[in-house]
Amino acid sequence: MLHAVHARYAPGVTLAAILIMEQRIDLAPNCSLTPATALVFFGTISAFSLPVALLFTVRGFWPVLLCWALEMLGLGLALRAGLQRRFHSQTVLVSDSLISLVTRSPGGEAKQEFARHWARVRLRTPRARRYPNQLLIESRGRSFEVGSFLTDEERCRLADRLRPLVGAMNESPGLEQSGT
């Protein structure tokens, strides 16, 4: 993506020198659950399970109603947590000299910057298979995880896309030749 820089023209400066080449990758979790469908789901589960719980309560098994209420509370909290994921996102901006990572969440926005020349992309495989892998951008002893909300397959594809843009440590390939 090309962005024009607001600058004064000087003699001998071409438009190509004023344009900055950069690649922008926007990441967001796959959240197909909307508030309306969550409400329908919660209402349907409640409507079908409450009569059963009331039937047991009327027959003297009153703890069933308490368990039903706790289960509905747990389901409601789980749905709420799933809906909150919609507000998380990350933007990776790779320019000639910098890699900027902007992470947005309901708690605010955090920005990390790395010198592109000294950065590298690393896909860390976990020791135990049940844990997801981590996609890291590392530079000068610092590292930051990218796409923690993505699936393993999506993280691998993102790593394959970022490696040609970032290059290896002490290497800065041209952005226009990246093919992305």
What are the structural domain ranges in the chain? Answer: 21-29+88-177, 35-85
Check residue 30 and give its pLDDT.
86
Check residue 96 and give its pLDDT.
84
pLDDT tens digits along 25-65: 999 888 888 999 999 999 999 999 999 999 999 999 999 99
**Type of residue found at 136:** L
pLDDT at 166 over 60: yes
pLDDT tens digits along 87-131: 889 999 988 888 899 999 888 999 989 888 888 888 888 888 788
Please tell me the CATH code under which domain 21-29+88-177 is placed. Answer: 2.30.29
Question: Can you give the chain as a three-state secondary structure string?
Answer: CEEECCCCCCCCCCHHHHEEECEEEEECCCCCCCHHHHHHHHHHHHHHHHHHHHHHHHCCCCHHHHHHHHHHHHHHHHHHHHHHHHHCEEEEEECCCEEEEEEEECCEEEEEEEEHHHEEEEEECCCCCCCCCEEEEEECCEEEEECCCCCHHHHHHHHHHHHHHHCCCCCCCCHHHCCC
pLDDT tens digits along 65-78: 999 999 999 999 99
pLDDT tens digits along 128-157: 878 888 889 988 888 889 988 888 899 999
Check residue 132 and give its pLDDT.
83
